[in-house]
Amino acid sequence: MTKPVFIALDFPDAKTMWGFLDQFPASVRPAVKVGMELFYREGPALVTALKEQGFTVFLDLKLYDIPNTVQQATKNVARLGVDYLTVHAAGGVRMLQAAKKGAQEGADAVGVTAPKLLAITQLTSFSEEEMQTTQLVTVSMRESVIHLAQLAAQAGVAGTISSAFESADIHANTPAGFLSITPGIRLAGDAVGDQSRVVTPARAAEMGADGIVVGRSITQATDPVAAYQLIETEFNA
């Protein structure tokens, strides 16, 4: 089974996004990640349009609130037919369980498959020192990520979002089949940008990632289709 490469659609509006995606032939329908910037500008209609065009959609909203509020949110999001949806593991087991329940309720209401919920552990923009200072903790990045991944697994969500540096530890400390999806991916030689923990697609695969999120290495490439295909091949080699 081919492991997914999600293209981060970090564009300011739908017009710019479609200008990018129109470069892909109908035979190539990559998985795409829609984040806050685009979703808050264009709304649910954008997700519907992407699904109608045959794209696998990962909606990255990083939900984090009291359990009931998150349950109602995932219920509405699931009705859009999204394939993946992010929530914050730091919300705790009860919030994560509520998110899963809401997603199933929403999907059942319209006859679609419920999205796979992916729990955010620690943002890949965080260094260990910054995490410790911000969250007033003394544990290592590794310990924190493992703990949050275990909470997510306990709650029954599909997997986590974390750096590839933590993928092996996540797999070693969670049940079989629990996913480790990793952002912070760049081709060798590309600019790191605002990410602190960055690896290449091949290295992410070696480290145990089940899927990767790639932005600028594809969206800013001279030939985005070729860049996507190169990364997909490298990651699944």
Q: What's residue 195's pLDDT?
A: 52
Q: What element of type H or E holds 5?
A: strand 5-8
Tokens of 144: 């924190």
Domain that holds residue 154: 5-235
Tokens of 14: 């739908």
| Cα–Cα distance for residue pair 203/209, rounded to 1 Å | 9
Number of domains in the chain: 1
Q: What's residue 193's pLDDT?
A: 57
- CA end-to-end span of the chain: 12
101 part of the active site:
no
Q: Where are the beta strands (DSSP E) in the chain?
A: 5-8, 31-34, 56-63, 84-88, 116-120, 159-161, 179-182, 211-214
| Most distant CA atoms of the chain, gap in Å | 50
Tokens of 201: 């697609």
Report yes or no: 214 and 226 within 8 Å, Cβ to Cβ: no
By the 10 Å C-beta count (0-12 exposed, 13-18 middle, 19+ buried), 211 is classed as buried
Q: What's residue 192's pLDDT?
A: 53
Q: What element of type H or E holds 231?
A: helix 224-235
Q: What is the pTM of this model?
A: 0.94
Which residue in the list 62, 75, 100, 116 is annotated as catalytic? 62
Give the CATH number, domain containing residue 43.
3.20.20.70
Kindly give the confidence (pLDDT) of every residue in the chain, 237 residues in length, as a single tens digit, with 9 standing for 90 and above.
Answer: 799 999 999 999 999 999 999 999 999 999 999 999 999 999 999 999 999 999 999 999 999 999 999 999 999 999 999 999 999 999 999 999 999 999 999 999 999 999 999 999 998 788 999 999 999 999 999 999 999 999 999 999 999 998 899 999 999 999 999 999 999 898 876 655 555 567 999 999 999 999 999 999 999 999 999 999 999 999 999
CA atoms within 13 A on the CB side of 193: 16
Q: Report the candidate in 101, 109, 83 with the shortest Cα–Cα distance to residue 181.
A: 83
Q: What's residue 190's pLDDT?
A: 63
